[in-house]
Amino acid sequence: MSRFIAFFALAALAFFALAPAASAMKIEKIVSPSGIEAWLVREQATPLVALNYAFHGGSGQDEADKSGTANLVADTLDEGAGDLDSKAYHERLENHAIELGFSVGRDYFRGTLRTLNEHRNEAFDLLHLALTKPRFDADAVERVRGQELAALRRETTNPNDLAYRRWWATAFPDHPYGRETKGTLETVPRITAGDLRDYVRRVFARNELTISIVGDVDAKTAGDLIDRAFGSLPAKNDLKPIAQVNARGIGRRIVINVDVPQAVVAFGGNGIERNDPDFMAAYIVNHILGGGSFSSRLYREVREKRGLAYGVSDSLVWFRRAAVVVGGTATRADRTADALAIIEKETKRMAEDGPTAEEMAEAKSYLKGSYALSLDSSGKIAAQLTQIQLDQLGIDYIQRRAAMIDGVTVADAKRVAKRLYGGGMLVTVAGRPKGLASSGTSQ
């Protein structure tokens, strides 16, 4: 316990030490002795190393009848590796205050590592074992599977999960993006240890591997650490292709009957891809309409003026083969129709009229000023660098970002608002909303 207290005390110190210097950080492109590329930020303020990485090939690589495979890999990868069973592996992590994490999205399998500098070799060795020699022992797999199934059972009556699951399944039918990353009560029991090993074999490889390191290490040391963890992985992955796709079901409203006091609404449509020249304008426009801030139009109209919901927001979401804008809210069953009508009205108004000059100025100021919050710790910086690499934005993106935001004109925003919100929405509602029924046909 004292090791963890010391670790988190140092992490807190790193939080304050990194914040003032984030905008002026120097990012180095390095290459390990085995030829693996990475981005490095040297931070000597605290003796920590933070690693963030991503393999191309997330839950989109799951077989349709075994969805949840990648997620089960992520949940069991640290349950023993090499000659260490689950207990021994976790004891090694805890005894050295090493933080190791794995997660899965539709396109990527992601990992994080944080360690004190004095234990960095041990940390990267343990990561190497997990990536190259996971045990997937029967008792560990069944224990984790049981936890996942229990969570999935709870979700069968959760209106939030029901609304969003149906939204994605309707938007992307018969496509990997339409399947839930966590799998289903039918698919998770079908997954075998052999399936887990096959996923690791096909996905964990040196090509299409994106790495970021932040910490008190130089380029040579960072390169050695990279090879220590990833150097012996296969040179090339073996992924099945994912087709380009647009969201379907636009114009439909689907009501899922579930006996709960509130109704959950999910809404959205096709978005704008991250590499599209209009993306930054879309980012600003989305922030103004419902991008999560307390100043958004949706929040003001739904929450502040009418008190119909505690919160409402929408976000741009982009994948390698699709882009959408998705939002949601939760409200009383007898006011769901009112809340949805306002959301649809404000979305249509944004599409037709776009934002005002005053809204643009306020949004730009907020988006530029708040960005530092995503760079105020070593772990956050590493995560940002990985995402910047995945999005192919360039090593100088952090320095160019403010100018890119300032370069968006009101005319740009009005044009892109129509493009982003003028195509209509797919809406799913879970609950017993008064005055709302399913309607529309798929497009």
CATH number at residue 166: 3.30.830.10
Residue position matching structure tokens 């087709």: 243
Residue 439 within any structural domain of the chain? no
How high is the pLDDT of residue 292?
65
Low-confidence ranges of the chain (pLDDT < 50): 1-21, 442-443
Same domain? For 291 and 363 the reply is yes
The pLDDT of residue 294: 84
Q: Tell me the pairing of strands 323-332 and 262-270.
A: antiparallel
SS3 207: coil
* Structural domain boundaries enclosing 384: 253-431
Give yes or no: residues 59 and 208 share one domain.
yes
Query: Is residue 275 domain-shared with residue 423, that is, in the same domain?
Result: yes
Look at residues 195, 230, 265 and tell me which one is the last residue of a structural domain.
230
Same domain (yes/no): 291, 181? no
* Residue 443, pLDDT score: 43
Do 219 and 145 lie in a common domain?
yes
**DSSP class of 277:** T
Q: What share of the chain is helix, strand, coil (3-state, %, to 5)?
A: 50, 20, 30
**Domain closes at, from 177, 197, 230:** 230
190 with 260, same domain? no
Under 8 Å between Cβ of 176 and 62: yes
Predicted model pTM: 0.93
What are the Cα distances from residue 361, in Å, to 2, 17, 349, 368, 398?
48, 30, 19, 11, 20
- Kindly state whether residue 14 falls inside one of the protein's structural domains: no
* Same domain? 199 vs 71: yes
Looking at the fold, whether 58 and 198 belong to one and the same domain comes out as yes
Q: Which DSSP state fits 35?
A: S
Residue 244 within a domain: no
Please indicate, yes or no, if residue 17 is contained in any of the structural domains: no
CB 240 within 8 A of CB 430: no
pLDDT at 9 (0 to 100): 44
Q: In this structure, are 224 and 310 located in the same domain?
A: no
The pLDDT score that the predictor gives to residue 386 is: 98
**Residue 39, beta-bridge partner list:** 29, 212
What would the pLDDT profile of 90-147 be if each residue is shown by its tens digit? Answer: 999 999 999 999 999 999 999 999 999 999 999 999 999 999 999 999 999 999 999 9
Q: Are residues 93 and 165 in the same domain?
A: yes
Please check whether residue 227 is in contact with residue 33, taking contact to mean a CB–CB distance below 8 angstroms: yes
What is the phi/psi pair of residue 392, to 5°? 55, 50
Element of type H or E holding 430: strand 426-431
- Which one-letter DSSP state was computed for residue 65? G
Instruction: Express each pLDDT in 216-258 by its tens digit.
Output: 999 999 999 999 999 999 999 999 999 999 999 999 999 999 9
**Rounded distance, CA 19 to CA 48, Å?**
15
User: Do 319 and 369 fall into the same domain?
Assistant: yes
322: exposed, middle or buried (C-beta count within 10 Å: 0-12, 13-18, 19+)? Answer: buried
Answer yes or no: is 69 within a domain. yes
Domain count, the chain: 2
For residue 248, is it within any domain?
Answer: no
Determine the length of the chain. Answer: 443
Domain boundary among 161, 195, 230: 230
